[in-house]
Amino acid sequence: METSILSLIPIILTIGLAIKTRNVLVSLFAGVFSGVLILSAGHPITAVKSMIGDYVMAQLLDSYNAGIIVLLVFIGGFVALIEKSGGAEAFARCVAHFVNTRCKTQIAAWIAGIAVFFSELGTPLIVGPIFTPIFEKMRISKEKLAWIIDTTASPVCVLIPFIGWGVYSMGLIKTELEALHITDITDWTAFIHAIPFQIYPILCLIMVPMVAFSRKEFGAMAKAELNAQKGIFSTIGNAEELEKKSMVLDNHTPLVVVLAPLLVLFVTLFGILAPQHFPIKQVPGGDFRIALITGYLFAAITMIVLMAFYKVKPLKEGISIYIKGLGKLFECILMLVLAWGLSSVGKALGTSEYIVQMAEGNIPAWSIPAIIFIIGALMSFSTGTSWGTFAIVMPIAIPMAVALGAPLYVTIAAVLSGGLFGDHCSPVSDTTILAATGSSCGLMEHMWTQLPYAMICASVSIVGFIAAGITDSVIVTVVCAVLLVIVYNLAGKLKGVSVKNLNIKDIEKLEAEEASQSV
């Protein structure tokens, strides 16, 4: 089929509906159907049959795609156990014992958030409620806690290849590499090489300890922190949000309940793949997925047994939680299948070729990563979804990078970083909402206090993607980290406020003074 402007209809319709309705599943469905309708010469019945048979069922029958779906199912079951066992909560509680200053408290919450890396939605509901009373005690604002747990949720998950985020992303990458007949690069290789170029999440993670140690705040966060030092905290009045907070277990689960299964997961993974010299040498993708599925299964069995042994959950209930968790990522799986279908429709219509023809000679190759990051950031902020943004943007970005000679790994990283931006700070993102909920902070208070910090990271990231597009060097990320420190300190000097690093004795003295004044 000759490429024409009609080939843009599915992607334009998908993006437009995603922004308008904020429902990525409906948008992807509409995009796939519109493309198949064009291919079917406008016959709706033929289009429906072709869509189901050639663009949905075909994806499910593909052995690679089936492996990805099965892996996501097993990950969902394990994540459900992690969230319900209270083991991650035990880790966060253990970390909390070592804090006696405002700075240490913030660092402890940061470490706890990173440690709960299996679920971006679990982090706010596990770490948030545990640290809320500690932050209040140490006179740190709830807005600051919301920012920290939001920044250690999705920005951590997007960097890890063996959880749902990485598996989902590699599924999208694999489809594009196969369509372009690229055989010397695998989806695993592409994802791993893209990690050092994921500038935005890396800068976000660096910013938390930087702010904690510098004690410089500005904008709405500065006001919230100064109020907190006076004992004035924001609260949420939404009963439904408070009810969500109660989802976190209030028990004393031993730390071994979460650490032992993780150990089993990694020992199983490396034990199965070690004969193939993993991780020194690359292993076939199928072997890696089988090893990972086996590891998640053994880890889940270990956790169920430990939960029963320590009387956290009866054996029957543990099995029930796991079985229910197997369907936890169903919506994400459906989104992935439709994304594969949209990619196939795009290939049939020649969408990528048409975009490349328009861009060739008009857009310099070095600018593509920065452009992709900005598009992804705007789209994800509008829709509140990172995975949906990945699904829509990845099939455009990879062919553009290959055809125009832009650095492939940098471009993939730009897709992931741009998609993450909205998930991190959009007011309609589930992670943003849960971060506010878990810290008992108002949603809009959280968004407005977090946004300036996110914008600093995003601005530096744009500069970084321009530089990486030119140099294709990971040194750019290091330079961006230095630039972040410079920009933040400059902003702190111009509009910032220095907040005292109160220790426990200072706070007890403040409490005594306040008590005497009230009397």
Per-residue pLDDT tens digits for 324-340: 888 877 876 887 788 77
**518 pLDDT tier (thresholds 50, 70, 90):** low
Dihedral-angle region of residue 401 (phi above 0 means left; psi in -120 to 50 means alpha; beta otherwise): alpha
Exposure string of 442-476, with b = 16+ CB inside 10 Å and e = fewer, is: bbebbbbbbbbbbebbbebbbbbbbbbbbebeeeb
The reply to whether omega before 44 is within 30° of 0 (cis) is no
Burial tier of 246 (Cβ tally within 10 Å: 0-12, 13-18, 19+): exposed
Please state whether 16 falls in left (phi above 0), alpha (psi between -120 and 50) or beta: alpha
Left if phi > 0, otherwise alpha if psi is -120 to 50, otherwise beta: which for 372? alpha
| Strand ranges, E, within 215-261 | 216-218
Q: Are 196 and 412 in contact (CB under 8 A)?
A: no
At residue 249, the pLDDT reads 43
Considering only CA atoms, which of 142, 141, 94 is closest in space to residue 116?
94
* 413: amino acid identity, one letter: A
Which is nearest to 380 in space by CA: 327, 443, 428? 428
pLDDT, tens digit, 9 for 90 and up, residues 206-229: 999 999 888 888 888 888 888 888
If 0-12 CB within 10 Å is exposed, 13-18 middle and 19+ buried, where does residue 515 land? exposed
Are 182 and 459 contacting, i.e. CB atoms less than 8 angstroms apart? no
What number is the average pLDDT over the span 245-273? 74
* Tens-digit pLDDT profile for residues 158-189: 998 877 788 889 988 988 898 888 888 888 89
pLDDT attached to residue 245: 40
CA distance 221 to 488: 14
pLDDT at 247: 40
Return the DSSP state at 434: H
Tell me if residue 300 falls in helix, strand or coil. Answer: helix
| Percent of the chain clearing pLDDT 90 (strictly above) | 24
Residue 135 CB burial class (10 angstroms; 0-12, 13-18, ≥19):
buried
Question: Is 236's pLDDT higher than 60?
Answer: no
With beta carbons less than 8 A apart as the criterion, state whether 136 and 233 touch: yes
| Number of separate helices (H) and strands (E) present in the chain | 27, 2
Give, for 498, the enclosing helix (H) or strand (E): strand 496-498
With 90 as the cut, is the pLDDT of residue 379 above it?
Answer: no
CB 369 within 8 A of CB 410: yes
Average the pLDDT over 249-261 and give the result: 73
Which residue(s) pair with 498 in the sheet? 216
Helix (H, G, I), strand (E, B) or coil at 491: helix
Please tell me the predicted confidence (pLDDT) of residue 246: 39
Please state, in angstroms and rounded to a whole number, the distance separating the CA atoms of residues 273 and 271.
Answer: 6
Per-residue DSSP letter, 101: B
* Strand, helix or coil for residue 252: coil
Q: Classify 497 as helix, strand or coil.
A: strand
Measured in residues, the chain has a length of 519
Share of the chain residues as helix, strand and coil, in percent rounded to the nearest 5: 80, 0, 20
- Averaged pLDDT score across all residues of the chain: 82
| Residue 19: both structure tokens together | 């922004």
Sign of the four-CA dihedral 403, 407, 409, 414: negative
Kindly report the CA angle at 301 between 298 and 303, in degrees rounded to 5? 110
**Cα separation, 465 vs 220, whole angstroms:** 28
Cα diameter, the chain: 83
* Token representation of residue 87: 């083991």
Question: Residue 463 pLDDT more than 80?
Answer: yes
Q: Is the model's pLDDT at 248 over the cut of 50?
A: no
